[in-house]
Chain A
Amino acid sequence: MDIAFLVDTMGKLLGALPTTLALWAVSITAGALLAILIVWMRVGGNPVLSAAARFYVFVFRGTPLLIQLFLIYYGLGQFHAIRHGPAWPVLREPFNCAAIALAMCTAGYSSEIFRGGLLAVPAREIEAARACGMSGFLLLRRILAPIALRQALPAYSTELILMTKSTALASLVTVWEVTGVAQKIIAQTFRTMEVFLCAAAIYLALNFLLAQLVALLEFQLSSHRRAHRPPAVSRRRKLA
């Protein structure tokens, strides 16, 4: 085993980690915001908006992410109006195209996950909130969203992990993230096994951390499902 080569490869791959992380963070953030908009359209009660939301989910969940990515990166550039339009400085960059494709795809999946969480909010608790004068955004912020997000967390964590792995597709539109750099090293050294194993180890470590973070968040958000423990303040007071 060529330890020196592995260390050198790992170093080069870790150099591309910020790009992978940025791609993930941008697409998750934009995707979640878009998903919230889609859920709002879907359950808001307007039949036209609801149909549009269903169509969005149908299209983006029903077609391969890779094709969506190619359509945005290679496809849009075909049109003269887009090449000379105001969005071209954004669409010209492969990173931006990859982030847009990832965000639009995850928005389709996430919106259904969020909608599931919303449907799981007990009607009784919503009614109690209405009965004390809550409505609209206040009801959403204080009652619906906290319960819905807690319910959606296990399914959403899977989506977060899938997205980490999906960032690898960006290498196919010349984004130099971890997989892209790995392929470049392979092209130079022909040592496929070592390089891809290093890359896989990076994704594995990322997703391990991610799963731990979500588990921690889930634990913190479910104190209402565990047996009572006195709050930290009163425990400290007892010691003093």
Chain B
Amino acid sequence: MPDPSTPALSVKNISKSFGGKQILKGISLDAHQGDVISILGASGSGKSTFLRCINLLETPDTGEITVGGETVTMRRRNGRAEPSDRRQVDRIRTQLGMVFQSFNLWSHMTILQNLTEGPVHVLKRPRADCIAEAESLLDKVGIADKRHHYPAQLSGGQQQRAAIARALAMQPKVMLFDEPTSALDPELVGEVLRVMRALADEGRDHAGW
């Protein structure tokens, strides 16, 4: 087990500009195991950008990101910052479970395949273990009966619960939620929030936007 005093996720002094407009101005954050951190802000204030910088879907202009004690190495090229080791980025992303606003499930795979895809092909875990793990996760988020359905055959709330289970299947150190309920009807929000609350009670780190 890692030293509990080391933050699972540490972000230092992140800045990001788009076309001369500065969106993030020196943001820092430490998340320890079991922390639940929410970030609030008006639309367009940079919540999603911050979150996308953490797993490097956007490259921050300055700053430092450390996940589980490993700091992303950056370099400058043509005046722009970029990660110097793409493999390291891939490795760090496996430790950051991401849940998107609009689910982003893979449409050509069943729900079960969506859950086993990362563990089998990225983490190279034995397929049988991954399937067992995926089925128990689907059970936990309450859609075990949908495992052979395709994403388009599920309601929004069910898709988002599947997406949460997909992120959890990677056994990440940190979960990142990017407005996970904003694309859902009000009556479907509850089921997703219940799943997130249960996760928080389990003690995984998780940051919700």
Residues of A within 8 A of B (CB): 122, 124-125, 127-135, 138, 142-143, 146-147, 150, 221, 223-225, 227-228, 230-231, 234
Cα-based distance from A124 to B55 in the complex (angstroms)? 15
Contact B118 A132, beta carbon cutoff 8 Å:
yes
Residue on A nearest B170 in the bound complex, by CB: A132
Please, which residues of chain B bring their CB within 8 A of the CB of A224? 107-110, 150-153
Please, which residues of chain A bring their CB within 8 A of the CB of B134? none
Query: How many residue pairs at the A-B interface have CB separations less than 8 Å?
Result: 79
Interface contacts beyond A135-B90, A147-B108: sample of 7 additional A-B pairs, CB < 8 Å, sorted by A: A127-B100, A129-B106, A132-B170, A133-B93, A134-B90, A135-B89, A225-B152
Question: Given A135-B90, A143-B106, A223–B150 Cβ distance below 8 Å?
Answer: yes
Residue on A nearest B117 in the bound complex, by CB: A142
Please, which residues of chain A bring their CB within 8 A of the CB of B167? 132
Please, which residues of chain B bring their CB within 8 A of the CB of A231? 148
Please, which residues of chain A bring their CB within 8 A of the CB of B166? 132
Please, which residues of chain B bring their CB within 8 A of the CB of A138? 121-122
Contact B90 A125, beta carbon cutoff 8 Å:
no
14 pairs across A/B with beta carbons < 8 Å?
A125-B107, A128-B100, A132-B94, A132-B97, A132-B166, A132-B170, A133-B94, A133-B123, A135-B86, A135-B89, A146-B108, A147-B108, A221-B108, A227-B153
Question: Given A124-B100, A127-B57, A142–B121 Cβ distance below 8 Å?
Answer: yes
B residues contacting the other copy or chain, number (CB 8 A): 34
**Distance in Å: Cβ of A4 to nearest Cβ of chain B:** 54
Contact with A along B48-90 (1 / 0, CB 8 A): 0000000101000000000000000000000000000010011
Residue on B nearest A125 in the bound complex, by CB: B106
Please, which residues of chain B bring their CB within 8 A of the CB of A125? 104-107
Please, which residues of chain A bring their CB within 8 A of the CB of B57? 127, 130-131
Cα-based distance from A124 to B90 in the complex (angstroms)? 17
Please, which residues of chain A bring their CB within 8 A of the CB of B96? 131
Contact A230 B108, beta carbon cutoff 8 Å:
no
B91 within 8 A of A: yes
Residue on A nearest B172 in the bound complex, by CB: A132
B33 within 8 A of A: no
Lowest 3 CB-CB distances: which A-B pairs, in order?
A224-B150, A128-B104, A133-B94
Cα-based distance from A225 to B117 in the complex (angstroms)? 20
Cα-based distance from A128 to B100 in the complex (angstroms)? 8
Please, which residues of chain A bring their CB within 8 A of the CB of B153? 224, 227-228
Contact B121 A230, beta carbon cutoff 8 Å:
no
Please, which residues of chain B bring their CB within 8 A of the CB of A143? 106
Cα-based distance from A122 to B152 in the complex (angstroms)? 14
Task: Kindly identify which residue among A128, A132, A223, A228 contacts B122, using a CB–CB cutoff of 8 Å.
Answer: A132
**Distance in Å: Cβ of A93 to nearest Cβ of chain B:** 42
Please, which residues of chain A bring their CB within 8 A of the CB of B89? 135
Cα-based distance from A122 to B108 in the complex (angstroms)? 11
B149 within 8 A of A: yes
Residue on B nearest A231 in the bound complex, by CB: B148
Cα-based distance from A25 to B106 in the complex (angstroms)? 32
Please, which residues of chain B bring their CB within 8 A of the CB of A130? 57, 93
